[in-house]
Amino acid sequence: MMEPELKGRIVPFRRVRKPARLSHVPASRPGNSIQDASGTATARVSVDQEVNSEWDLLIRLATQAWSWRDPESLDVLEGTVTRLRTWIGHDWPL
C-alpha cells in the first residue's frame, strides 16, 4: 500500500520586528576620535561596524520582504535604505 503524497506545506508567519531607529547618524570628525595603541581611530572603526551591521540588516530585510511581500516589510526595508543613504552620503558628497 502506498502512502498518500503530501501536496502542501504549512508555513508559520512572523511579524516583522522593526530595527531600532538611530536618532542621529554618527559622523567621525578630525580630533574627535579616540586612538588605540596601534594608532587606529577607534571611533571610525565603530562607525564602520555600525554601517556594516546596517548593510547586513538590509540583506536580511530584503530577503524577508521578498518572501512575505507585505507593506510592513517594505516599510522597514525603506527605513534601512534611508539610513544607509545618509551614511553613504557622507562618503560620496555631490
Instruction: Give residue-wise pLDDT tens across range 45-72.
Output: 788 899 999 999 999 999 999 999 999 9
Instruction: Please give the pLDDT value at position 3.
Output: 65
Q: Round to whole Å and give the CA distance between 20 and 57.
A: 11
Calculate the alpha carbon distances from 83 to 1, 31, 36, 86, 88 in Å. 59, 25, 28, 5, 9
pTM of the model: 0.52
Q: Is 31 or 14 the better-scoring residue by pLDDT? A: 14
Instruction: Please give the pLDDT value at position 93.
Output: 77
Structural domain boundaries enclosing 52: 42-91
Residue 50 located in a structural domain: yes
Residue 8 located in a structural domain: no
Residue 70 located in a structural domain: yes
How many domains does the chain fold into? 1
- Cα 18–23–25 angle (5° rounding)? 105
Residue 48 located in a structural domain: yes
Residue 18 located in a structural domain: no
